[in-house]
A and B are shown apart, each in its own frame.
Chain A
C-alpha cells in the first residue's frame, strides 16, 4: 500500500495527470450530485416526458446562458405560481355570497424576441359552482389588453394563442392579422413590429361562489431559452440527461472496464498456471472471439432481444473478456510462473488457487490499473455509439441517447447546436480526463515493471 502512495505522489508530478484527475473528479462530483438531486425513479419519470413533468418547458430551446453568446437577447422561460412566488400576489377578499381573489404579477420584458407561448394553469377545488376569471394584461405603454373572461373547471389550462377571441381583439388593435403572442408584446400599429419593452402586469380577478374555494393559478411563459441545458423535442429538460448521463456513463464504463480486466486476468492466470488442454482451450476461445464482429453482435442483441442497458452491459463484458488482454496477461503470467518465489511457495505447500491469487495476480495489478483507467472511456463511447445507432435504452437518459434524439430530429439542420454539443462536450471531457490520467498512470507503473 505504501507503494501505492508513492506512485500517487509520482503521478502528480505530471501536469497532464493533475488535469485529468481534476476532470475525473468533476465528473464524479457531477454524478454524485445527479444521483442525490434527482433520484433514479424521478429521473426516469422525468425522462418519460409526460405532461405533468414537462408542462413548464418550451420545446427545443437552448439554455439560458445562450444569451451571453447571441446577439439577440432571447426571452427566458419562467413559471410562477400565485401566492407561492412572491411577485405573483394573491389577495383574497371574502364576501357574503361571493369572494374575490385578485392576482397580480408584474414582470419586466427587455428581450429582443417574442416568447413561444403563455399559459395559465388553473386548479380550483370548488364542488359545483365554477369560479369566474377575468384576465387582463397591462403593457408598458399603458394599454390594458383584455385577455379573457371565462368560468373555470376544476382543472383548466388556458393557452393564450389558442384563444380566438383574443386574436380578434388584437387584430382590431393592430388593424391587421397578428399572431397572439407577438400582438401582446409589440407596440401597437408599429410597422415592422417593434417589441414593446418594459414592465408588464398580468391581473386576474377571480370570483368564487363557494366557501373556501381556493384557486391556484400558475402562469407559465415558454420563452426562447430555458434552464441550464435547454430542452429537447419532447420538451424534456436536458439537465436531467446531462446530469444523469454522468453516473450512467461512469458506472457503465467502470463496470465494463473493471469487469473485463479482472475476469480476463483471472482466466489468463488460470490458463497460464495449469497449462495443458485448459490453456489451449482458453486460447482457442480467445482467438475465435477476436474474429467475431463485436459491434455487430451487440447490434443484433439490441435489435432482436433487448435494449435494456444492463443486458447490453452484460453482453459487452462477456464479449470483451476473451480478447487480446488474455493473451498479453498470459504472457506475463507465464514469466511470473517461473519466478523463484513461486517455486518456493510450492515447496512449502501452497495450493494452486492460493498461488494464483496471492502470488501471481498481485504482480499484474500494477499493469492492470493504467489499462483499466484508459479503457473506461472506450466503454463510455461504446454505450454512446450504441445509443447513437438507435440501440440505446430508451428509458434511461444518457448522453448518447440525447445525441441520437438530436440526430433523428435534424438538430444540426435547424441550428439547434446546443442539443448535440452539450452531450458531446461531456463525452469529450470524460474521454480526455480518463485518457490523460490513464497515460500518466501508464508512465508511472510500466517502466518499473519492465524489469520483470
Chain B
C-alpha cells in the first residue's frame, strides 16, 4: 500500500517558520523557451523541473551532478540571475521570485558567489584593490578608509598577506590558488549569510584544492555561513558538506547526509557516480569501471517517467518508464526518488496519481 501524505497538512501541523531557513526552495521550475527563427515557439528546455531544497544558517549542503543536469541553472536562479518559471524561492523568508532590482540588491548583499574559473571571475583590467572595492562601492560604503579597512580584514581572512603586496597586483600576476582566494574574499566582503560556491576548486591544481577547501571550511565555521557547494567531484563533497543533493536531468533524485549517501547509497545513478569516482588504488588498473550506457537526456524532451530509466539496469518496465517516481523516505533524512524503494513512506508524490490508470504525470 502506498501511504500518501498530504504535504500541505504536514506543513501546517508543523507550523513551518519560513524565516528559520536561509534558503527555501519549493517545487522550483526553470524553463527556457526555445524559439525557432527568433520568434516561433519550439519547446522548452526544462533545466530545473521540480526541485525542493532547504538550508539553515550554518549548514553546508552539496549539489552533485554532471554537466547538463541543471545544477548551474538552479544556482543561477538562487542568485536570481534567472527568473524562476514556477515554484517559489525564499531567501530569509522572503519570496524572491518577482522582486525588482532594488529589492534584489538587498538580498544580493547577503549572498556570496564563488565561481569556477578564478581568472575569469575577475576583470582582467582591475587590480586586486579595485576588484574588492567594487561590491563595497555598489552597496553604498562611501568612506574610502572604511572600504580599505574592510578589504584588509577580508584579505587577512583568506590568508593573502602581506596585504600591501597584493593590493596593486592584477589577476594575471597571481597563481590559481591566489586568484581563487581573492574571489572568495570578494564573496565574503559584504558579510553574507549564504555562500554559493560553483565548482570552486575544479580548475585548480590537485594540491591547491585542499588548501582552498580548508579555507572555505574555516570561513564557514568562523562566520556560521550557510554554504551551497556545487560540484561533480564526489570525493571533495565528503570533506566539505553535511548533506548532499544528487541532481539528474533537472531533478533531485536522492538526498542524504554525507555518511548515508556514501555508505548506504540508494539510487542507481548515485551508485554509478560513486563507482566512477576513483580513489588512488593500484588495483584500479586491472578492473573496468561499470558505467551506465548512454548519455544524460536532452532537457527539451526528457524521457517519460523516471528520467534515468533508459540507462538503468534495474528499470521496472511499465513503472519506471511511465510514472515519475515518488520521493521515498528511507529514514534519517535520507530520501530517494526511485521506484525500487516502493514500500517506504512517501515524502512527495510530485502530483503523480496512480490507480491503475495512466497517471497525470508531470512531464
Contact = CB atoms under 8 A, between A and B. Distances in A.
A348 B135 contact: yes
Contacts of A341: 120-123
Contact of B81 (A3, A346, A354): A346
A344 B134 CA distance: 11
B194 to A, nearest CB: 11
Contacts of A282: none
Interface string A334-372: 000001110111111111001000110011000000000
Interface stretch (B90-98, B111-119, B213-221): B111-119
Provide the main secondary structure of the chain B interface: loop
B108 A349 contact: yes
A61 B109 CA distance: 76
A348 B121 contact: no
A4 to B, nearest CB: 11
A103 B78 CA distance: 99
Contacts of A345: 134
A349 B125 contact: no
Most chain A beta-carbon contacts within 10 A, residue among B109, B111, B134: B134
Contacts of A343: 81, 115
Contacts of A363: 125
Given A341-B120, A349-B109, 16 more contacts: A339-B120, A340-B121, A344-B115, A344-B122, A344-B186, A345-B134, A348-B109, A348-B186, A348-B190, A349-B104, A349-B135, A354-B138, A358-B134, A359-B123, A362-B125, A363-B125
Contacts of B79: 347
5 contacts: A340-B121, A344-B186, A346-B81, A348-B138, A349-B135
A358 B111 CA distance: 22
Interface in B114-153: 115-117, 120-123, 125, 134-135, 138-139
A3 B125 contact: yes
B353 to A, nearest CB: 40
Contacts of B135: 348-349
B134 A348 contact: yes
Interface of A: 3, 339-341, 343-351, 354, 358-359, 362-363
A334 to B, nearest CB: 15
Contacts of A359: 123
Q: Which 3 A-B pairs have the closest CB atoms?
A: A340-B120, A348-B135, A347-B113
A340 B125 contact: no
A283 to B, nearest CB: 12
Interface of B: 79, 81, 101, 104-105, 108-109, 111, 113, 115-117, 120-123, 125, 134-135, 138-139, 183, 186, 190
A345 B186 CA distance: 10
B191 to A, nearest CB: 12
A346 B116 CA distance: 16
B108 A340 contact: no
Contacts of B105: 349
B121 A344 contact: yes
Contact of A344 (B104, B109, B113, B125): B113
Nearest to A345: B134
B132 to A, nearest CB: 11
Nearest to A365: B125
Contacts of A348: 108-109, 113, 134-135, 138-139, 186, 190
Nearest to B135: A348
Contacts of B190: 348
Nearest to B190: A348
A236 to B, nearest CB: 50
A260 B111 CA distance: 41
Contacts of A347: 79, 81, 108, 111, 113
A362 B123 contact: yes
A345 B115 CA distance: 12
B325 to A, nearest CB: 34
Nearest to A346: B81
Contacts of A340: 115-117, 120-121
Contacts of B111: 347
Contacts of B109: 348-349
A3 B104 CA distance: 36
Contacts of B108: 347-349
A344 B105 CA distance: 13
Contacts of A362: 123, 125
Contacts of B104: 349
A250 to B, nearest CB: 29
A345 B79 CA distance: 12
Interface centre among B81, B116, B123 (most CB of A within 10 A): B123
Nearest to A362: B125
A40 B120 CA distance: 52
A339 B116 CA distance: 12
Nearest to A342: B123
Contacts of B81: 343, 346-347
Contacts of A358: 134
Contacts of B120: 339-341
A250 B135 CA distance: 41
A402 B11 CA distance: 89
Contacts of B122: 341, 344
Nearest to B168: A2
Contacts of A3: 125
Nearest to B115: A340
B72 to A, nearest CB: 11
Nearest to A343: B81
B134 A350 contact: yes
A333 to B, nearest CB: 14
Nearest to A344: B121
Contacts of B134: 345, 348, 350, 358
A359 B108 CA distance: 19
A340 B113 CA distance: 11
A347 B190 CA distance: 12
A349 B139 contact: yes
A351 B186 contact: no
A350 B108 CA distance: 10
B136 to A, nearest CB: 9
A359 B126 CA distance: 9
Contacts of B116: 340
A347 B104 CA distance: 10
Contacts of B101: 351
A349 B121 contact: no
Given A340-B115, A340-B117, A344-B113, A349 B138 contact: yes
